[in-house]
Amino acid sequence: MNREKDMMEVPEGRGFVQTMDRRDFLKLTGSGLLVLCSVDPLLGQSAPVAATQRGATDFNSFLHIGADGRVTCLVGKVELGQGVMTSLPQLAAEELGVSLASVDIVMGDTDLCPTDRGTFGSLSIRMLGPTLRAAAAEARAVLVQMAAEQLKLPITDLEVRNGVVSSKSAPSKHISYGELTAGKRIERRLDGQAVLKKVGAFTIMGQSAPRRDALEKVTGKAKYAGDIAPSGALYACILRPPSHGAKLLRADTSSAEALPGVRVVRDGELIAVLHPHRDEATRALALIKAMYSPSPSRLTHETIFEHLKKVAPEARATGSRGSLADGEKAAAQIVEQTYLKGYVAHAPIETHSAIAMVEQGKVTVWAGTQTPFPLKTQIARALNIAPEKVRVITPYVGGGFGGKSASMQGIEAARLAMATGKPVRVVWSREEEFFFDTFDPAAVIQIRAGLDAAKRIVFWDNTIIGAGERGSALFYDVPNHRTAVRGGWNGNPADMHPFAVGPWRAPGANANVFARESHMDVLAAKAGMDPVEFRLRNLTDARMRRVLEAAAKNFGWSPKPAPSGRGFGVACGDDAGTYVATMAEVKVDKSTGKIQVVRVLCAQDMGIVVNPEGAAQQMEGCITMGLGYTLSEEVQFKDGVVLDTNFGTYDLPRFSGVPRIETVILDSPDLAPQGGGEPAIVTTGAVLANAVFDAVGARVVQLPMTPARVKSAMKG
Amino acid sequence: MRVISFSLNGVDRKLTVDETRTLLWVLRDDLGLTGTKFGCGESVCGACTVLLNNEAVRACATPMSAVEGKRVVTIEGLAHDEHLHPVQEAFVKHLGFQCGFCTSGMIMGAHALLLKNPKPTRSQIINEMEPHLCRCGAHVRIVQAIESASAVIAGGAR
Ligand code: FES
Ligand code: FES
């Protein structure tokens, strides 16, 4: 499938991120056909029987068809930029047999949408998608059945086009969905029997439907949490400690309070300065004289790796096969290497923002969050009120990448709104964003592996500290292996990291794939083989072979053992059900150690593709974002202080560093749609490390590959 | 406090404000123009880019005193009578955005570039846009969008 396919010209359906209120909603769903569906988050498929027994609130999406023929999907997912506001309606429109323009979507509103755990893990299309499709297929079946009764025709004689059911033999006999549902209230629960359309019959899925958020985003009209402005709203700037672990001893707020229009609120440990203008609130905050105890932490971004090795929890085996001892015996060559990666920030351009308002005992919070429903529960708990008294609305979110799974700012805004009786907005500064970010954890990954005389991998012993298991499973043929994990992005002992860590786009997989695919190249070099041929020799997984071969063909890879001087690299990975193979070309300035990435090509098998242009956009975004953790991004800290407070020292990828990017999406009609928001990022570290090795013969084993690290690797 | 007179999106305005306050927050909080975004507050992300007398400036680092007597154009002032500006149109066509949070600043930065140089080379585009950050990684398409807007503008469509 070629991503250059022209965009389909379709008038837009609407996407509501915040404009519908409860009354509109009741009016909307008061009549018509409502399909409730449930998805088991663990199985990733609809679990109809269990769902019907779990009671009326336990479903994950609604699909509603109104008397005007308009279709509304209500989902708890949010639009972070990944494009689900556009692709989810495509699924519904396809299965229902209606035009895309007649499908609206309401997202991330806890009063209107069914409960959802959050928008992360590339789950929207992969997990919610099948449910939504099934709901739409079920609705179509119900409507066709009703049409058959009304038209007195057999179902086999009926077909659906653009929301109209008509007779194949006598096309003048027809009835629209709107006419069928008018004045009725029909409620259906998905029973799992719905029959989905086959790929060959798709007319809407598989097309690059234009993004619904485009017009609002290019005109500045798109509203994010910080843009919602109820009258009388105050900004809150909150007093923050200088370091993690520091405790507030005393605070003198008198000079801040003396400023005109400033109000200071103390609610337990929370001290905030409020003013209608954010810049004036910021100025007042600077006037607070606060004393803190020093942080007990003595760690730095350099000493952290030794610390992790010491304090990480006991190893937990996540995969094993055969016997490592047998493998060692069979090995002709053994290579052992430790790979390191520092902490990486999420750094969305929109900082954590929220606004909270209390009206008649009900708290409404607009928040830039990936988890509106968990946030609702947290707010209710913090305020000690019933969850029904809290509504979280998620407008457009200015990037998340896992970092907005934690939404402390929403709780802060709610507490301060409660305390003042006024609408209160909290918009974190960039410094607060760096301080409270739940970083991608630093990792230490050890791999010891051996080759037999035939250059086949005979054992693989992998110990992962900090990164968890995602991305570490072996798709290569290895008869004897063991993978053990000591800590991941959650569930760690309290003293493991000096600050919060959390999920970061394909959590842990970036570190694990960097280590595995670097080590594959180390082995290939040991074997004196071309890195692609070496992988293929050790790979029977047909799906991965196909992806790798597609990458090689499109890239124009010709076999040569590394270092060939060409600066070519390869890496394979699997994530969220999707397989990727990435190839890159780099130039290395030998005097400075600076890497310039010339070209990156990524081939991907993601099953059925819902929106090819959207999928390519996600792949490009992954590759571009991946340049950061690979080349320049590493959080610097010392004694509990996060030294990076803004983008002046913390280097995100920029225009000059972005290479030519090519994406190849393989035709894969027999596999349901898989994840698209994360897979293509996991290979970036290794593909570039391998390309650097191919260019200059230096193996960089620590991310990011800063010029200094490249130079020191070149010295050997 | 001082009266500041300036033109905002083609309309003359007089505001009584503390002239040390920044244009960014005056636009957002006092004037309700929320299309201009806050991303860093220190002139290092480009999200707050607006035009001051046709030059791209960072609104977060522009005190109101510097606005006196000048022409300010924000993202809200770019489309005319429901017609998108060619730069906006190109961003839609090439999908030069994902989350959209950097987009206002990107579009204003690109617009300023094309005003002074309607036919920039690729490397001039990259140079000019270098200070603008996009965390979603829409860079490749943003460059394509600017090239295509340049072709339209230099081609005399507007
Ligand atoms: S907010 Fe002004 S440059 Fe970042
Ligand atoms: S589109 Fe999200 S930051 Fe650029």
The pLDDT tens digits for B54-89 are 999 999 999 999 999 999 999 999 998 779 999 999
CATH of region A304-344+439-715, choose from 3.40.50.720, 3.30.365.10, 3.30.1300.10, 3.30.2130.30: 3.30.365.10
B73 vs A43: which has the higher pLDDT: B73
The pLDDT tens digits for A369-412 are 999 999 999 999 999 999 999 999 999 999 999 999 999 999 99
Ligand nearest to the CA of B101: 2
Edge-to-edge order in the sheet of strand A174-176:
A158-161, A164-167, A174-176
Residue A487 identity (one-letter amino acid): G
Q: Which candidate in A349, A428, A619 is best for mutational testing of the B interface (most B CBs within 10 A)?
A: A349
Taking Cα atoms as reference points, which of A241, A242, A244 lies closest to residue A497?
A: A244
| CB spacing of A396 vs B97 below 8 angstroms | no
Element holding A379 (H helix, E strand):
helix A372-383
Residue A61 CB-density burial (10 A; 0-12 exposed, 13-18 middle, 19+ buried): buried
The pLDDT tens digits for A542-601 are 999 999 999 999 999 999 999 999 999 999 999 999 999 999 999 999 999 999 999 999
Query: What is the end-to-end Cα distance of chain B in Å, rounded?
Result: 40
The reported pLDDT for the residue numbered A138 is 84
Tell me the residue ranges of DSSP E strands in A428-523: 443-451, 457-465, 480-486
Q: Is A263 on the interface with B (CB under 8 A)?
A: no
Contacts of A278 in chain B (CB under 8 A): 25, 28-29, 38
Tell me the range of A7-21, A102-116, A157-171 where mean pLDDT is highest. Answer: A157-171
* Pocket probe mutation, ligand 1, options B43, B106, B108, max atoms within 8 Å of Cβ: B43
The reported pLDDT for the residue numbered A192 is 63
Task: Using the mean position of ligand 2's atoms as its centre, give its distance from the Cα of residue A623 in Å.
Answer: 14
Taking Cα atoms as reference points, which of A589, A545, A552 lies closest to residue A569?
A: A552
Taking Cα atoms as reference points, which of A200, A257, A264 lies closest to residue A234?
A: A264
Q: Which residue of B has its CA nearest to A600?
A: B140
Residue A266 identity (one-letter amino acid): R
Tokens of A292: 């803190």
| CB spacing of A276 vs B29 below 8 angstroms | yes
Tell me the residue ranges of DSSP E strands in B59-138: 71-73
Q: Average pLDDT for residues A249-261, to the nearest whole number? A: 95
Answer whether residue A673 shows pLDDT above 80.
yes
Ligand nearest to the CA of A278: 1
Report strand pairing: B71-73 vs B2-8.
Answer: parallel
Which residues 6+ apart lie within 8 Å of A579 measured at CB?
A: A543, A544, A547, A572, A573, A604, A605, A679
Q: Average pLDDT for residues A483-508, to the nearest whole number? A: 95
Element holding A690 (H helix, E strand):
helix A684-696
Determine contact, residues A236/A272, Cβ cutoff 8 Å: yes
Match 């008509």 to its residue by tokens: A166
Taking Cα atoms as reference points, which of A559, A568, A638 lies closest to residue A597?
A: A568
- Neighbouring C-beta atoms of residue B124, cutoff 10 Å: 14
Answer whether residue A238 shows pLDDT above 70.
yes
Q: Hey, CA dihedral for A636, A642, A643, A649, is it positive or negative?
A: positive
Within chain B, all domains assigned CATH 3.10.20.30 are found at 2-77
A58 confidence band (pLDDT: 50, 70, 90): very low
**CATH class held by domain B2-77:** alpha beta
B29 confidence band (pLDDT: 50, 70, 90): very high
The reported pLDDT for the residue numbered A43 is 34
A191 confidence band (pLDDT: 50, 70, 90): low
Answer whether residue A51 shows pLDDT above 60.
no
Determine contact, residues A580/A682, Cβ cutoff 8 Å: yes
Domain spanning B86-154: CATH superfamily: [2Fe-2S]-binding domain (1.10.150.120)
User: By alpha-carbon position, which residue is closest to atom 3 of ligand 2?
Assistant: B134
Which residues 6+ apart lie within 8 Å of A698 measured at CB?
A: A692, A710, A713, A714, A716
How many Å apart are CA A343 and CA A471, to the nearest integer? 17
- Within 13 Å of residue A609, how many CA atoms lie on the same side as its CB? 25
CA A471 to chain centre: 15
How many Å apart are CA A76 and CA A93, to the nearest integer? 18
The reported pLDDT for the residue numbered B158 is 45
**Residues at CB less than 6 angstroms from ligand 2:** A 81, 349, 399; B 97-103, 134-136, 138
Q: What is the largest CA-CA distance in chain A?
A: 84
A445 confidence band (pLDDT: 50, 70, 90): very high
Answer whether residue A419 shows pLDDT above 70.
yes
Task: Using the mean position of ligand 2's atoms as its centre, give its distance from the Cα of residue A83 in Å.
Answer: 12
Contacts of B143 in chain A (CB under 8 A): 655
**Residues at CB less than 6 angstroms from ligand 1:** B 38-41, 43-48, 58, 60
Range with lowest mean pLDDT among A131-145, A181-195, B54-68:
A181-195
How many Å apart are CA A110 and CA A392, to the nearest integer? 5
* Mean pLDDT across chain A: 90
How many Å apart are CA A574 and CA A550, to the nearest integer? 15
User: In Å, how far is A305's CA from the nearest CA of chain B?
Assistant: 27
Tell me the range of A203-207, A228-232, A443-447 where mean pLDDT is highest. Answer: A443-447
Residue A350 identity (one-letter amino acid): E
- Within 13 Å of residue A522, how many CA atoms lie on the same side as its CB? 23
What CATH architecture applies to the domain A3-219? Answer: 2-Layer Sandwich (3.30)
Element holding A94 (H helix, E strand):
helix A84-96
Tokens of A647: 């983008």
Q: Any idea what DSSP says for residue B64?
A: G
How many Å apart are CA B124 and CA A259, to the nearest integer? 46
Q: Is this complex's ipTM strictly greater than 0.90?
A: yes
User: In Å, how far is B88's CA from the nearest CA of chain A?
Assistant: 6
Where along chain A do its domains lie? 3-219, 225-293+352-427, 304-344+439-715
Phi, then psi, of A514 in degrees rounded to 5: -55, -45
Count of helix runs (H) and strand runs (E) in chain B: 5, 5
| CB spacing of A279 vs B25 below 8 angstroms | yes
Within chain B, all domains assigned CATH 1.10.150.120 are found at 86-154
Share of chain A above pLDDT 70, in %: 91
Tell me the residue ranges of DSSP E strands in A143-255: 158-161, 164-167, 174-176, 185-189, 234-238, 248-252
User: By alpha-carbon position, which residue is closest to atom 4 of ligand 2?
Assistant: B134
How many Å apart are CA A543 and CA A605, to the nearest integer? 8
Give me the residues paired with residue A365 across strands. A356, A392
Residue A545 identity (one-letter amino acid): R
Q: Which residue of B has its CA nearest to A232?
A: B29
The reported pLDDT for the residue numbered A57 is 39
| CB spacing of B88 vs A224 below 8 angstroms | no
The reported pLDDT for the residue numbered A30 is 66
Reduce the DSSP state of residue B128 to 3 states and report it: helix
Range with lowest mean pLDDT among A72-81, A185-194, A195-204, A595-604:
A185-194
Fold (topology level) of A225-293+352-427: Aldehyde Oxidoreductase; domain 4 (3.30.365)
Which residues between 98 and 117 in chain A have a beta carbon less than 8 angstroms from any beta carbon of chain B? none
Q: Average pLDDT for residues A504-517, to the nearest whole number? A: 97
The pLDDT tens digits for A262-275 are 999 998 889 999 99
Which residues between 632 and 661 in chain A have a beta carbon less than 8 angstroms from any beta carbon of chain B? 646-648, 652-656, 658, 661
